[in-house]
Structure 1
């Protein structure tokens, strides 16, 4: 049922009409709540030196957002996966009111189920640890998982235009500045419906894509991939600081001495990518997150007695890149390939 261009009932066909590359196939993970969609892309040639990648979407997203990434990275030897959390993509449906109050912690449990599945699948191949790559509110979930120790995962992580661990008030203020009648529309016309700020192609494009992105691509995302409604408890949990930067960098495998002799020790551990035209998680928002993570790296190194390395290695530990032409949908906008290339360099 739809009312004033928003829908109040779940959809069971999300993502099923999106054309996937022949190398990408759809499977599901069983969880206590129901099945979670997992898109998989197996490399044409086995290379045990390359880690599996797990891509995590954000609010109003789905695994299919990463279809370009799945083909790109699998063709370069990386087993690649993209997960849809509950109520998103082709994962199990959740009713409107239940979804509205689904917590950040519950969403994080879906992500850990995906991580566990991918790790188990490659456990005996001798590959490096899984590298999770998360976008927007999915990046908030990943930071929360690392900070809370919900699963002992990576040695490297990728954060694409993410809600920063220090809180999202500034992000939502950017949204209000972009769309000043957003609160009025949401509460007077749409009765508080979470899809209200994204209830038309124009609103989706101005929030998520660059101006040059064809409207056809935006409409495909809007009509075929975006769920009809979203959790409100999930974003509300990110308003204040929701994850500890020091715990995040420790979970990313920061060694006691960053300047050690091992080549592995010298690799960047966290990659943050911003869209140059992202109007929500603006480059300045991401730069502040990078500064916070680098400060945490410095604290970890100093506490380990590596004061010299604290000055030399901090910038290298947390890498920052900006895809100048891209909007918020870094992996799905027209500049997705530049984002993928930056991620590939980080992985290598």
Structure 2
């Protein structure tokens, strides 16, 4: 293994933003202008045009937000999958990631969560404008935010402060907003060794293929897939951003209050085994999906189950306080129902079997995509 400093990149890329990579068919790249610099936005639109307002509702647009060291490109497979199902998709690269502009290493090292949040907000607002125009809508079209890892923490941060509103939020193997010290326990033994060896470089724990493999994938994952992800990881990262997620920064209710569309799902007919139509009662939609990966060593399923329970409790409290339009306490589940069902009270929790932290970049990435698709379909009802 080469001496640490020589395995790492210490300067911003040239040109800046870097020359963009080739994209697969059906995906285009544009740039969002911000006061700090241009941000990469990838787009995958379905082949059919949006339905007019008099028709059944079109699927909500998906906005993908990456985590630490990631980029918009980590979502390429998901974008192709969802756009093939008629759902418009967008993915952003924050500053210092993908084909967006890059601060210097030192400046990036001390970039705050607030600054990264500004990039996320800029991306979401830009997509709201694009989708509103594309659909010729009278009101702003809200996105469904799908955010991975530390990007999930960033999503909770901007929602909790009311900087944007969305019509659904998927925490995809995401760092919870209730404190994340346990997320980083995987590196607790190796970090003291690698940190000085890499001379305080932000990517000291992900400098080699085995390190990336161990943190982001399962042991069975082919090495070529790990290297494919390595090629699109950012050369350095903010260290202040993840440090600001170590301790609780949301209450739960503040995040849920920035999610729209909580009114009861309409009662509908489903087909019984004998062919008769059976009525299902109106229900509270699960507009927050907490998606865990079974083999994740960072955002472990037990950590995310705890987050889901905290959000359910926060939702019930909002309802009791009369802060959720169209829903009252009698619409919530009873205590016995909560013991029998994993989903409900506004929050769905699912575990994707057999995958690690970067579930969207595994060979079996469709497993997670199908869970999200099933959830997104419920948001149209």
TM-score by length of 1: 0.91
Q: Which residue of 2 aligns with 1:164?
A: 176
Determine if the alignment matches structure 1 residue 332 to structure 2 residue 334. Answer: no
Q: Is the 8 A contact 1:61 1:89 kept in 2?
A: yes
Determine if the alignment matches structure 1 residue 297 to structure 2 residue 315. Answer: yes
1:183-208 deviation digits (Å, cap 9, x = unpaired): 2211x211221101101100000000
Using the TM superposition, name which of 315-324 and 118-127 deviates more. 118-127
1:58-80 deviation digits (Å, cap 9, x = unpaired): 00000000000111111111111
Q: Is the 8 A contact 1:15 1:225 kept in 2?
A: no
Q: Is the alpha carbon distance of 1:157 and 1:264 closer, same or farther for their aligned partners in structure 2, counting shifts above 3 Å?
A: farther
SS at match of 1:7: coil
Uncovered stretches (5+) of structure 1, i.e. residues with no partner:
none
Q: Which residue of 1 aligns with 2:376?
A: 347
Offset of 1:248 from its aligned partner? Answer: 1.1
Q: Is the 8 A contact 2:264 2:282 kept in 1?
A: no
Tell me which of 234, 248, 259 is aligned to 1:252: 259
Tell me which of 63, 73, 81 is aligned to 2:82: 73
Q: Which residue of 2 aligns with 1:183?
A: 192
SS at match of 1:272: strand
Q: Which residue of 1 aligns with 2:49?
A: 46
Offset of 1:287 from its aligned partner? Answer: 0.4
Which structure shows the higher helix fraction? 1
Q: In the aligned structure 1, how far is the partner of 2:250 from the partner of 2:89?
A: 27
Equivalent residue runs for 1:1-348 within 5 Å: 3-12=5-14, 16-17=20-21, 20-48=23-51, 49-124=58-133, 125=135, 126=137, 129-151=142-164, 153-176=165-188, 180-186=189-195, 188-222=196-230, 224-253=231-260, 255=262, 258=264, 266-304=284-322, 306-312=328-334, 315-316=343-344, 317-348=346-377
How many aligned residue pairs are there?
Answer: 339
Offset of 1:5 from its aligned partner? Answer: 1.7
Using the TM superposition, name which of 37-46 and 118-127 deviates more. 118-127
Offset of 1:260 from its aligned partner? Answer: 7.1
Q: In the aligned structure 2, how far is the partner of 1:141 from the partner of 1:147?
A: 10
1:176-230 deviation digits (Å, cap 9, x = unpaired): 2xxx2222211x21122110110110000000011222111111211x2111110
Q: Is the alpha carbon distance of 1:86 and 1:198 closer, same or farther for their aligned partners in structure 2, counting shifts above 3 Å?
A: same
Q: Is the alpha carbon distance of 1:197 and 1:274 closer, same or farther for their aligned partners in structure 2, counting shifts above 3 Å?
A: same
Q: In the aligned structure 1, how far is the partner of 2:29 from the partner of 2:255?
A: 31
Q: Is the alpha carbon distance of 1:128 and 1:146 closer, same or farther for their aligned partners in structure 2, counting shifts above 3 Å?
A: same
Q: Is the 8 A contact 2:265 2:282 kept in 1?
A: no
Q: In the aligned structure 2, how far is the partner of 1:321 from the partner of 1:228?
A: 32
Q: In the aligned structure 1, how far is the partner of 2:19 from the partner of 2:148?
A: 18
Uncovered stretches (5+) of structure 2, i.e. residues with no partner:
52-57, 269-280
Q: In the aligned structure 2, how far is the partner of 1:97 from the partner of 1:271?
A: 36
